[in-house]
Chains A and B, each alone.
Chain A
Amino acid sequence: MLLGLQIVSGLVSAAILFLLASGLSLIFGVCGVLQLAHGAFFMLAAYLAYSGTLLLAESGASFWLTLIIAPLVLAGLGALMEIALFRKLYHADHLVQLLPTIALSFIVADVIRFIWGLESKTVPFPSGLPGAVSIFGVTFPSYYAVIVIAGVLIGLGLWWLVYRTRWGTLVRAIAQDRDMSAALGINERAIYTGVFALAAWLAGMAGVLSAPLSGAALGSDLDAIIDAFVVVVVGGLGSIPGALLAALLIGMVRSFGILIVPQFAMAFVFALMALVLIVRPTGLLGRRESISR
């Protein structure tokens, strides 16, 4: 019973972490940008989930509609950001590219404060779900199953998109060797915009899916961006399978770690990251010199 429940909660954490981190990893792998505003997008999505479920309450399926709409809004924002800002910065120094992403996260956080105020918000569990499910004798709220299933489906979709479509081939080509791809006439611009949009969509999914659990609160952007970075770095920058592996690992470490040494919950994840990086300097599944600069 105990073991089963901890596994379930580990899987739920892992699903959210994976959605959050895979977008970040994708942007870094393809565009070489560390997108520090990713956490702010996640937070924005949680607030959109709050307003969406209120505004669409009449429809009877408000949460599910929000789950479709809000991430698309985020995707639009992501694309807009790439076109308006990052397109001009690819040739700038790597560290300089960080600055606008920091600025954006300040701006998004204050816009949220302006629109929704300082108080945190809770989002009801979606309607139309049974209260609890039992699998192998472990009983847990059915919404947790929704998160895990969504994580698996989106993971599969991402795999299909990156490894089985023409777009994915181009994306991987650029991640492999940017100059060569440009020489071959690949339209980088469209790909970059698409990658930013996809990443923001993933952050949006993570934000909306986690909203019924954690609610929407100011400050969650900082936790989200750090969590996402830890997963990306532990898994290996630019590696989506790595992000999956790391998300599972960190989800489980969190879930079981609190049973063993609850008083040090604060430091688990950082200790794990330090350990992984000391043993494997490019993360679990990262290529050596994956980004050659």
Chain B
Amino acid sequence: MTTSVRALLGVCVGLVLAGAAALAPTPALAQNKILIGDISSMSGPLALGGVPGRQGAVMAVEEINKAGGILGQQIELITRDDKSQPEEASKHFRELAAQGAQIIIGSTGSGTSAAMTALARELKIPFFTMIGYSRFLSEEAGHRYFFRLITNDRVLGAGIAEALAKQPHTKYCTIGYDYAYGRDITKVVMARLKELKPEVEVMSGCEFWVPLGTTDFTPNLTAILSKRPQAVMFGGLVAAGAPAFVRQGTAFGLFKSAIGVHPSIGMVINSAGFTNKADIPEGIFTGTDYLYPPLDTPASKAIYEAYRKRWNQLPAEQSVNAHTTLRFIKKALEKAGKIDREAMIDAAKGLSIDHPIMGEITVREFDHQANTGWWMGYLTWDETHKRAGMRNATLLKAEPFLPSKAEIEKLRTKK
């Protein structure tokens, strides 16, 4: 055997051993540690949210541990990369459960969260999703072990619709990515808008569904332009899609003749693609759960500064939401008075926590959905941070849009 072949053999054996070592359980947990699993999308298309989410969680754990932990016990956070795939998420969920994780959290989307919430129910482990906005998770699929401190697409869709109903526009075109969130948000906004204002219509042949990940919207844009709509709802385009659509639409002069509507382009992950002031036309109505420029309140400034100091990056909404979720877990465990899953769940029902951006939020007793709101306003350029921001922002309250206890029960028994 030549040296290179031998080296290769060595590398392979080494990798297999490393893999086997990875498989082996972590050495018996140190006494008096609370194991929390964090299954987040660290690679794949959702990594844009998963990475800042994990950083927020890590920062929260460091702060809690430094301040003495929870009930005198330190937290050990184990992070796993679900690669943005439900099957990977499901595998890691079982694995962390087998390792004795008390609670599992995840900066991961709706599809991966759906896979994990099913296991949470089976294995009786509390699960908190931190990027899954699909209403389905807390409604039809909801159960005792599922929690969500962020809002959901029912709230932000209906809220945006309510604001739009006050505007004069009636002729709409829609375009969105063809996937669960893209369809949900588009349909929720348009349906609610039609209820409130029956003269609103989606123009015929002007409802477009494009494959997830598309960034060239030229054929759709030219078709939209020829219909001469008054408003274009493109809320179903996320990640790189939203900035690309805005840029191409601006080139065609679309936003001069029609207002743009995107319930969440203000979110950092969506607006991250805007790197020039010229990229942002006036008159795009939008929303977010983390504002740029950051709110001028002590809580908002505190987490902004702490995060910049810890990671040398600007915080994203996922960072703040993960941070808040961990603080909530601490509060619930302390209220329960012992490290116990069922006791924690009982303590968490109806419990409130201060969200640095949203103010006080409360986890509802019957569906474990927090009444977290949503900021709405117009897209603008944030000169200080050199990225997209919002102006004229107002906080949308969630209560009027969340389903009642009776409605939740009806949704869950349907099937």
Instruction: Please name all residues of chain B whose beta carbon is closer than 8 Å to the beta carbon of A256 when the two chains form the complex.
Output: 219
Which residues of B are found within 8 Å of A258, using beta-carbon distances?
A: 208, 210, 219-220, 223
Cβ distance A165 to chain B, nearest Cβ, rounded Å? 33
- Residue in A119, A210, A222, A265 with the greatest tally of chain B CB atoms within 10 Å: A119
Q: Mark A119-145, 1 if CB is under 8 A from B, else 0.
A: 111101100000010000000110110
Question: How many angstroms from the CA of A140 to the CA of B251 in the assembled complex?
Answer: 8
Please tell me if the beta carbons of A12 and B178 are within 8 angstroms of each other in the complex. no
- Give chain A residues whose Cβ lies under 8 Å from the Cβ of B211: 265-266
Is A220 close to B, CB under 8 A? yes
Q: Which of chain B's residues 193-235 have a Cβ closer than 8 Å to chain A?
A: 205, 207-211, 213-216, 218-223, 225-226
Nearest-neighbour CB distance to chain B for A107, whole angstroms, equals 14
Q: Across the two chains, which residue of chain B brings its CB closest to A216?
A: B240
Tell me which of B221, B226, B244, B248 contacts A1 (CB under 8 A). B226
Assembly CA distance A141 to B249 (angstroms):
10
User: Is A177 interfacial (CB 8 A cutoff)?
Assistant: no
A10 adjacent to chain B (CB < 8 Å): yes
A181 an interface residue at 8 Å Cβ cutoff? no
Whether B222 contacts A262 by the Cβ 8 Å rule is no
In this assembly, does B252 line the interface, its C-beta being within 8 Å of a C-beta of chain A? yes
What's the tally of chain B residues with a CB closer than 8 Å to chain A?
A: 40
B22 at the A/B interface (Cβ < 8 Å)?
no
B219 touches A6 (CB 8 A): yes
Could you tell me the distance between the alpha carbons of A220 and B178 in the complex, rounded to whole angstroms? 17
Q: Nearest-CB distance from B116 to chain A (Å)?
A: 22
Is residue B73 contacting chain A, with contact meaning CB distance below 8 A? no
Could you jot down 9 A-B contacts, CB within 8 Å? A6-B223, A8-B222, A120-B243, A122-B243, A214-B244, A215-B273, A217-B240, A255-B222, A266-B178
Q: Does A60 contact B (CB under 8 A)?
A: no
* Chain A interface residue bracket vs B: 35 or more
Of residues 270 to 292 in B, which have CB atoms within 8 Å of A's CB atoms? 272-276, 278-279
CB neighbours of A121 from chain B (8 A): 273, 275
The answer to whether A214 touches B273, judged by C-beta atoms less than 8 angstroms apart, is no
Q: How far does the alpha carbon of A67 sit from the alpha carbon of B353 in the complex, in Å?
A: 53
Q: Please tell me if the beta carbons of B240 and A120 are within 8 angstroms of each other in the complex.
A: yes
B 238-274 to A, binary, CB cutoff 8 A, 1 in contact else 0: 0110011001100111000000000000000100111
Known: A120-B243, A122-B243, A262-B208. A10 touches B216 (CB 8 A): no
Additional A-B contact list (6), CB under 8 Å, known A215-B273, A256-B219, A266-B178: A2-B223, A118-B51, A140-B252, A141-B251, A220-B213, A262-B205
Which residues of chain B are within 8 angstroms of A266 by Cβ–Cβ distance? 178, 209-211
A9 at the interface (CB under 8 A from B): yes
